[in-house]
Amino acid sequence: MTEASNHSTSSQSIMTKLLAGAILGLGAGTIGLFQGLQSGDKAPFLGWLWGCSFWLSIAIGLLMLIMIFRVFNSKWSPVVRRQQEHGLAAFPWLALCFLPLLLVAWFGKDQAGILWSWVDPSSPTIEVSSVISVEEDVLHQKKAGYLNLKFFTLRLIAYFAIFCGISHWLRKVSFSQDKDGDPNWTRLGSKVSAIGIPAAALSLTFGAFDLFMSLEYQWFSTMYGVWFFASGIRAALAVTILICLYLLSKGTLKGLFKQAHQYDLACLSLAFTVFWAYISFSQYFLIYSANIPEETFWYTIREIDPNTGALSGWFWVSMGLIFGHFFFPFIYLLFYRNKVDAPKLIFIVCWILAFHLLDLYWNIIPGREIVPGAFVGYDARPVIGSHLLWGVFSLVGVGCLCAWAVIRSFQSGTSEIIPIRDPRIRESINHHE
Amino acid sequence: MSDIMDIKYAVAATFSSAKDLFNAAGKVREKGYTNWECFTPIPVHGLDAQMGYPRSKVPRFTLAGGVTGFFTGMLIVWFMNEFDYPLIVGGKPYFSPIYPFPVFYELTILFAAFGTLFGMFFLNRLPRHNHPVFEHPDFGRTGDDKFMIVIEVDDPKFDEDETTEFLKSVGGDSVQTIREPID
């Protein structure tokens, strides 16, 4: 057997394994969704949302980075950009993964509001400490023009249409240039990006409002979208670094992906670590300073047990985010050697990805569960619970599906390893500090 | 005009392209010279590594400034709000790391910037009003179309004849000794 056919056999077996993983993970998650519909348990839905949103945030981060590279006409990025463009192949599949949540909202009958309680106006909700229905809640009445199922559906379709559409064009522009070398593709790419940045920025902002913030529809934060953007970019940079260093170690990018590229990506990681902390802290700081109950409860249930006032498990997760998602990566990435030594950088980007997952968990999972007879009428969802188990299923399932789509794009042969006919490619290959 | 006394400062060689200078700089480094400098009209990428320079030490001053700023901010808030004149504002504690964080943050940035700027001045021995290398008749052209390597007399390996020959051998267009006048 020749080496080439050996290689294709092994890659085929990886693809089969990934598809099997996707079917198993998503299948188990779907069983959870059905069980949740039967028993009225929210946990499988929260888990599903958490698992999908991790991969969605990475894809959105990649999309934003590519468009930013394009509009700035940056000369160092083309070598890196090509690897990111393959990542965009995951978007249509991600849309598919979010579909079950939308279907339940439409066809779930009396369980339609199981994940987003506002979907079903008759579902119970909490006002101060008494239980009322969503339609009686003035905070929903005032938001009903925005938070209603039809408009929500329309928006979700628009978000994914924008993400998939821009991704399709960015890939087409870049891959077509490999074939004919026409510099007009680069101009078109800049135009697509210039239009795409505001479109995608609005989509990801309102997407974060709709998917995550509306889980507790009474709560609101205008910084939420920026938080999602910052998180997505951090995760996307981590994935970019991992892909590039993997391809470098395999020899594919040998002599093309230089230490200077790695250093610049690591510097961007440092910058967005600070940016994430800045946004996350500002959101906390404003709510803390204003001290309005409609806003503060969101942080209260992430810090203490609302009935007893004792520190809850979420307090330690919150502290973990401050020190693990900001303080440690910040100090670590300040040092030059940690940015240019590949193993040291791989360690910290894996760390950032793990804490990004925890950050999403912290944002999505805690919520007020109505408990009749409790002192404040509700209890906060615990850190460890069945939502974690269901979440891991969808995390693995969606991850395998996205990895399959991305590897398929890498192997499809529609593009070169790097954009060989990009006008900036020579500068990118010769990039140095 | 009376006699002007002078002392030898260095031997300088001029080059007419960045490539020539870059190659020559590598040979100077390999020869083992340590007290020498390159002057170029444009930034030459990779020249620091070619000259064998280690990483800049300025970041250490930045870090020290930032840490100082952070704790200065804490000290200011603690002294004024907790110690000297305790006052409840907006129902917040006298001292906490949360509500005055912008103060810590701003002072961290400010002092880190001071550390960077003054650290750079300190390491470059600035401000400085004159430099012996200005005595070279073509020094002005290193801001225009000439590249220059200057090996100082202070270098342990310096020997006027040998160094002059060496600079000629690495491709210097004109090699001459820079003399620093004393009056």
Q: What is the DSSP string of A91-102?
A: HHHHHHHHHHHH
User: Is residue A377 very low, low, confident or very high in pLDDT (cuts 50, 70, 90)?
Assistant: confident
Q: How far apart are CA A191 and CA A213, in angstroms?
A: 32
φ, ψ of residue A381 in degrees (nearest 5): -60, 135
In a domain? residue B138:
no
Q: How far apart are CA A283 and CA A174, in angstroms?
A: 38
B80 Cβ neighbours under 8 A, 6+ residues apart: none
In a domain? residue B171:
no
Overall average pLDDT of the A108-127 stretch: 91
Beta-bridged to residue B11, according to DSSP, are: B151, B177
Q: A361 to chain B nearest CA, in Å?
A: 23
In a domain? residue B81:
yes
Q: How far apart are CA A57 and CA A94, in angstroms?
A: 10
Q: How far apart are CA A385 and CA A179, in angstroms?
A: 52
Query: How confident is the model over A306-339, as pLDDT tens digits?
Result: 999 999 999 999 999 999 999 999 999 999 999 9
How many angstroms from the chain centroid is the CA of residue A148?
24
Residue ranges making up the domain that contains B93: 58-123
Contact at 8 Å (CB) between A183 and A206?
Answer: no
Q: How far apart are CA A319 and CA A303, in angstroms?
A: 9
- Is it the case that residue A6 has pLDDT exceeding 70? no
Please tell me what DSSP assigns to residue A132.
E
B77 Cβ neighbours under 8 A, 6+ residues apart: B95, B100, B103, B104
In a domain? residue B156:
no
In a domain? residue B51:
no
Please tell me what DSSP assigns to residue B143.
G
Domain ranges of chain A: 15-429
- Is it the case that residue A34 has pLDDT exceeding 80? yes
Query: How confident is the model over A177-230, as pLDDT tens digits?
Result: 999 999 999 999 999 999 999 999 999 999 999 999 999 999 999 999 999 999
Q: What is the DSSP string of A160-220?
A: HHHHHHHHHHHHHHHHHHHHH--THHHHHHHHHHHHHHHHHHHHHHHHHHHHTGGGGTT--
Which residues of chain B are within 8 Å of residue A284 when distances are taken between CB atoms? Answer: 98
Query: How confident is the model over A134-167, as pLDDT tens digits?
Result: 999 999 999 999 999 999 999 999 999 999 999 9
Q: How far apart are CA B159 and CA B175, in angstroms?
A: 14
- Chain-chain contact of B55 with A281 (C-beta, under 8 angstroms): no
Q: How high is the pLDDT of residue A2? A: 47
Q: How many residues does chain A have?
A: 433
Q: How high is the pLDDT of residue A414? A: 86
Q: How far apart are CA B137 and CA B148, in angstroms?
A: 12
Q: B152 to chain A nearest CA, in Å?
A: 28
Which residues of chain B are within 8 Å of residue A281 when distances are taken between CB atoms? Answer: 101
Which residues of chain A are within 8 Å of residue B98 when distances are taken between CB atoms? Answer: 284-285, 288
Residue A398 carries which side chain, given as an amino acid letter?
A: V
Please name the residue ranges forming H helices in B8-159: 18-31, 47-50, 58-77, 101-123
Closest Cβ–Cβ partner in B55, B91, B101 for A291:
B91
Which residues of chain A are within 8 Å of residue B99 when distances are taken between CB atoms? Answer: 285, 288-289
Q: How high is the pLDDT of residue B183? A: 67
Please name the residue ranges forming H helices in A251-384: 259-290, 293-300, 313-320, 328-334, 336-340, 342-364
In a domain? residue B34:
no
In a domain? residue B94:
yes
Q: How high is the pLDDT of residue B4? A: 67
A&B contacts, CB < 8 Å:
20
Please tell me what DSSP assigns to residue B3.
-
φ, ψ of residue B174 in degrees (nearest 5): -130, 135
Q: B99 to chain A nearest CA, in Å?
A: 7
Please tell me what DSSP assigns to residue B41.
S
- Is it the case that residue A126 has pLDDT exceeding 70? yes
Is the Cβ of B91 closer than 8 Å to some Cβ of chain A? yes
Neighbours of A116 (CB within 10 A): 23
HEC-encoded secondary structure of A256-284: CCCHHHHHHHHHHHHHHHHHHHHHHHHHH
- Chain-chain contact of A288 with B99 (C-beta, under 8 angstroms): yes
Q: How far apart are CA A120 and CA A110, in angstroms?
A: 8
- Chain-chain contact of B101 with A285 (C-beta, under 8 angstroms): yes
Number of domains in chain B: 1
Contact at 8 Å (CB) between B178 and B149?
Answer: no
Q: How high is the pLDDT of residue A55? A: 98
Q: How high is the pLDDT of residue B3? A: 59
- Chain-chain contact of B63 with A288 (C-beta, under 8 angstroms): no
Query: How confident is the model over A55-86, as pLDDT tens digits?
Result: 999 999 999 999 999 999 999 999 999 999 99
Residue spans of chain B under pLDDT 70: 1-4, 183
Contact at 8 Å (CB) between A185 and A173?
Answer: yes
Contact at 8 Å (CB) between B5 and B181?
Answer: yes
Lowest mean pLDDT among A237-246, A354-363, B159-168: B159-168
Contact at 8 Å (CB) between A78 and A425?
Answer: yes
In a domain? residue B111:
yes
Query: How confident is the model over A256-294, as pLDDT tens digits?
Result: 999 999 999 999 999 999 999 999 999 999 999 999 988
- Chain-chain contact of B90 with A291 (C-beta, under 8 angstroms): yes
Closest Cβ–Cβ partner in A281, A288, A336 for B55:
A336
Interface test with B, best of A334, A339, A431 (most B CBs within 10 A): A334
Chain A interface residues (partner B, CB cutoff 8 A)? 281, 284-285, 288-289, 291, 334, 336, 432-433
Overall average pLDDT of the A22-47 stretch: 95
Query: How confident is the model over B33-77, as pLDDT tens digits?
Result: 999 999 999 999 889 999 999 989 999 999 999 999 999 999 999
Sign of dihedral through CA atoms B75, B79, B83, B89?
negative
- Is it the case that residue A3 has pLDDT exceeding 60? no
Neighbours of A389 (CB within 10 A): 14
Checking ipTM against 0.85, whether it exceeds it is no
- Is it the case that residue A8 has pLDDT exceeding 80? no
